[in-house]
Structure 1
């Protein structure tokens, strides 16, 4: 497998921190930049969290940019459930050492477009927050963004209920207009939604192995994720662990064989009614032979979790050398 140049577009909460760790840990990835967005936390604080996670992983060389700070048609306001699930600081209320430098002054959307122009088919973009930055980049320079090899998003729910309303998944619900603009473009999108992420779970049996590495990175990541696992035990006791939402999207971007995909044209409901922010097949394009969205509907969760754990343990152990 050839090395993939990757950009992560994150709203750095707990599972985004795991997504960053996955990208750093996988030898098949060269993480060339991280964009922050709003969602789990404000975009500026998401950037600070990303910098601190990268510093924890000895990856200070990866630049961090701030993208759009608000959805297309309204102002962002953090909701209480985000603070409950991810902690007030977004990363399980765990204190991480400050990075040695600040985030970049260049706008994250401009960085994404420049990288797409420079690397084209060699670039993979993974978005684990709202789709605002991607939609803005498509609108600003569609032809360049069309050259990107792969855009994989964590978002949506096709065959299962949403997690913020009966039909809406959180990342799509943050900015349905931007998500709809992205899905209804002609760019190739991999949708890794709740259909598969709710089946891909982590427990304290796994984070205990991170602690056993006796590394700061292993200990801190275990602290961050154990907070998340405890919240899941309170809110979603039927699952038996915390969902690996964002890191699964990174894994699928690298190796799509982790999931089974349905090829569809997707739209997002943007009307403010009971179906607001629903991801659904686009009725107007049902008979279009050209589809642009690959929707993950099943996952080889055992194989993925084994790869996830191997990568994390190898990274933490190597940081101790």
Structure 2
């Protein structure tokens, strides 16, 4: 499956990039970076560095948005993702990211319009720009996957809002209103897609991947934050990895179809809203929300993909 991946790496975005690169059924056509967990400068460098580690500099890195459409100042999260986004790992000081122009994204989509899928696991600003600049092209994309939202569960930035939808609710609204078909992986599922330190250590001990050392180090760093906010977890939820898992494992996931909208005003900014009453109006749009999943299969899949380079699953 060909994907164009929008991300703001960030630890969980980085693990999602690694998962996509190692997955035998995913062909990454490009990575569009943006602000969010870290600045667009750091996220662009991190994406290029991850590609470089695997010898995949053939995949273009496209620099996207540096701030939300609203112009509201952006909050970064060094306490979660580390000062530069990869936890304790810092790319060499002399590493230079090879950055492609934003217009290349449209060329990639045009050349692969029949089978390309867009996956956005960061703030949705860059993707909203694409819909505004080339609406006739973007509306032909058959499927868009968004990591974001929280339905009937607490948010992780405010009591009602998840970080990606909160970061630029205007951009999210553009995509929900314009995209042909949208699949959403909210905190309902991603908060439970937990990788423990033991799993990361197991991967380290059984893989020859170029990311062998990185995975346990960033997982431990990420888990240390969650030790404080979710004591007893002994790991960390991989929000963005789950979105790519969902892409290929819908048969292992409970999904509902509902019209989704996002609040824009300050009082409940970023809140994701859908009608979950027993009797509800038939949805007018192609919005699908992942609500539950097979956790054991997710874990098995994550380990299997990270050992896909020749390691063995015991």
Length-normalised TM-score, structure 1: 0.90
Tell me the equivalent position of 2:8.
11
What is the CA–CA distance in structure 1 between the aligned matches of 2:250 and 2:121, rounded to whole Å?
Answer: 16
Deviation string for 1:197-233 (max 9, x for gaps)? Answer: 0111011111111221475521122111111112111
Tell me the equivalent position of 1:185.
178
Tell me the equivalent position of 2:89.
94
Contact 2:30 2:60 in 1 (8 A): yes
Contact 2:31 2:47 in 1 (8 A): yes
Contact 2:62 2:105 in 1 (8 A): no
Deviation string for 1:10-40 (max 9, x for gaps)? Answer: 1010000110011111111111100101000
- Give unpaired runs (5+ residues) of structure 1: none
Relative to structure 1, is the Cα distance of residues 64 and 232 closer, same or farther in structure 2, using a 3 angstrom cutoff?
Answer: same
Length-normalised TM-score, structure 2: 0.91
Relative to structure 1, is the Cα distance of residues 282 and 175 closer, same or farther in structure 2, using a 3 angstrom cutoff?
Answer: farther
Deviation at 1:102, TM superposition (A): 2.6
Contact 2:74 2:167 in 1 (8 A): no
Relative to structure 1, is the Cα distance of residues 96 and 258 closer, same or farther in structure 2, using a 3 angstrom cutoff?
Answer: farther
Residue aligned with 1:191, SS = strand
Where do 1:306-317 residues align within 5 Å? 306-315=300-309, 317=311
Asked if residue 83 in structure 1 is aligned to residue 108 in structure 2, the reply is no
Asked if residue 138 in structure 1 is aligned to residue 131 in structure 2, the reply is yes
Tell me the equivalent position of 2:98.
103
CA RMSD of aligned residues (A): 2.1
Residue aligned with 2:213, SS = helix
Contact 2:220 2:235 in 1 (8 A): no
Tell me the equivalent position of 1:194.
187
What is the CA–CA distance in structure 1 between the aligned matches of 2:107 and 2:152, rounded to whole Å?
Answer: 36
Residue aligned with 2:228, SS = helix
Residue aligned with 1:120, SS = coil
Contact 2:138 2:179 in 1 (8 A): no
Deviation at 1:101, TM superposition (A): 5.7
Relative to structure 1, is the Cα distance of residues 143 and 164 closer, same or farther in structure 2, using a 3 angstrom cutoff?
Answer: same
Aligned match for 1:43, one of 40, 45, 48: 40
Contact 1:47 1:66 in 2 (8 A): yes
Tell me the equivalent position of 2:253.
259
Asked if residue 27 in structure 1 is aligned to residue 24 in structure 2, the reply is yes
Residue aligned with 1:184, SS = helix
What is the CA–CA distance in structure 2 between the aligned matches of 1:255 and 1:101, rounded to whole Å?
Answer: 36
Deviation at 1:59, TM superposition (A): 1.9
Deviation at 1:262, TM superposition (A): 1.0
Aligned match for 1:62, one of 59, 62, 73: 59
Residue aligned with 2:70, SS = coil
Higher helix fraction (1 or 2) = 1
What is the CA–CA distance in structure 2 between the aligned matches of 1:97 and 1:222, rounded to whole Å?
Answer: 19
Contact 1:268 1:277 in 2 (8 A): yes
- Give unpaired runs (5+ residues) of structure 2: none
Aligned residues: 308
Relative to structure 1, is the Cα distance of residues 43 and 232 closer, same or farther in structure 2, using a 3 angstrom cutoff?
Answer: same
Contact 1:197 1:248 in 2 (8 A): yes
What is the CA–CA distance in structure 2 between the aligned matches of 1:173 and 1:115, rounded to whole Å?
Answer: 29
Deviation string for 1:241-278 (max 9, x for gaps)? Answer: 200100111111233223211101111100111x1110
Tell me the equivalent position of 2:263.
269
Asked if residue 150 in structure 1 is aligned to residue 147 in structure 2, the reply is no
Contact 2:259 2:285 in 1 (8 A): yes
Deviation at 1:54, TM superposition (A): 1.5
